[in-house]
Structure 1
Amino acid sequence: MNCWKTINIQKQYGMQRLFIISSLTMLITFLFLYVPFTAYFSQNRLNDNYFSLFLLCMVITYPIHKLLHYLPMIPLGKKVKKTIHIHYHFFPVIYFRAQEPIKKWNFLLASITPVIVLNTVFIVCCFLFTHYVHYFLILFAYHFGMCVPDFIRMKNLWKAPNQCFVEENENGFEILINKAS
């Protein structure tokens, strides 16, 4: 297989820039959703009960996000390596890395799964628990901002040939195509 393109998002964008883009995405998402949702649910008073549960949801959103990345990769078995690194002496960062080439569509499915599942859950909860719509919109915006690197990966991979494969390494990921005979 030949390497069609190598993509290193951290090197291309930088960690600070990714953080700023993610933070702005969170803020803009919340601002654009809060007004229409609170107008739609204007007959309900917003409650600030269960704040500790809200904080717990903020904390567990990241591990659930990572787990949802992993679920579509479970059938790939040992092709996927799982590691956990502790940053700043207390913050666990979970990595799932495809060590062997996997199909483009498997990688795209693994990238989009958390966006679809968690954000759908948060929006449905807005309609089920209308007094806490602000909590769920904050969680939605927080998760949407968390997904910015996934969106960048998907954008880069979307332009790749349909029959390509993806292999991840320490420096990002490579898009591989079969040699032409």
Structure 2
Amino acid sequence: MNCWKTINVKKQYGFERIFLLSSIAFLTVFTVFHIIMGMVDAVPYSDRLFPLFTAVFFLIYPIHKSLHFIPLIRYREHVDFSVKKLFIYVPVLSLFVREPVPKFNFVLSLLMPFVVLNTALLAGAYILPAFAHYFSILLAFHCGLCLIDLIYVKHLVRSPKTSLVEETAHGYEILIPPSE
């Protein structure tokens, strides 16, 4: 296998820039979606389920990470999970792919949380318009989380169709067979 390209978005953009872009995505999605929901369904908002909203808010991240694993279930013996602490209190869950996997499965793995959770949140806002403000916050938060995945997808889409993706300490390596 030949390495076609190595992608390390965290090194390329830096933590501060990624955080800023995620924050901008959060604010943009919240503003646009909240305004649209206000125009579509002008019902009074309710704060009855605030404890449930708080619980779901803290569960979005672990659910997001779990959804990354579903397309890689066939390669589970090559996937490692780890938990690290960021700023002493914040647990950061990581999936590490030790062996090359097909590009299609890897892109699907990156897009799975975005599609599944955002669809569920949009449906929830439509079905329960009195809680659309909660769904707006959750949707915006999740879109901010998904930003780095979408940046990786942007890079991977341009790679050869038959390529494989492997995760290393330097980032994601896009590998192609020697014949290409």
TM-score range, shorter chain: over 0.9
Deviations 1:59-110 (A, max 9, x none): 1100000000011111112111111112222211111111101000000000
- Specify the alignment match of 1:178 in structure 2: 177
CA distance in 1, matches of 2:136, 2:86: 28
Aligned to 2:99: 100
Q: How does 1:11-160 map to 2 (within 5 A)?
A: 11-42=11-42, 44-160=43-159
Residue identity opposite 1:153 in structure 2? Y
List gaps (5 residues or longer) in structure 2: none
The unaligned stretches of length 5 or more in structure 1 are none
Distance in 2 between the 1:88 and 1:71 partners? 29
- Residue identity over aligned pairs, in percent, reads 37
Q: How far apart, CA to CA, are the structure 2 residues paired with 1:91 and 1:145? A: 17
d(CA) in 1 for partners of 2:145, 2:46? 26
Counterpart for residue 169 of structure 1 = 168
> Structure 1, residues 143-162: CA drift from partner, whole Å, max 9, x if none?
01110000000000000000
Q: Compute the RMSD of aligned alpha carbons.
A: 1.1
Give me the TM-score of the superposition, normalised by structure 2.
0.97
Matched, 1:2 2:20: no
- SS of corresponding position for 1:147: helix
TM-score w.r.t. the length of structure 1 is 0.96
Write the deviation string for residues 102-137 of structure 1: whole angstroms up to 9, x where unpaired: 000000000000000000000110122111011001
* SS at 1:47 equivalent: coil
Cα offset, 1:140, TM superposition:
0.5
| Equivalent AA in structure 1 for residue 12 of structure 2 | Q
- Find the residue that maps to 2:161 and give its secondary structure: coil
Quote the Cα distance in structure 2 between the aligned partners of 1:79 and 1:103: 13
Paired residues, number: 180
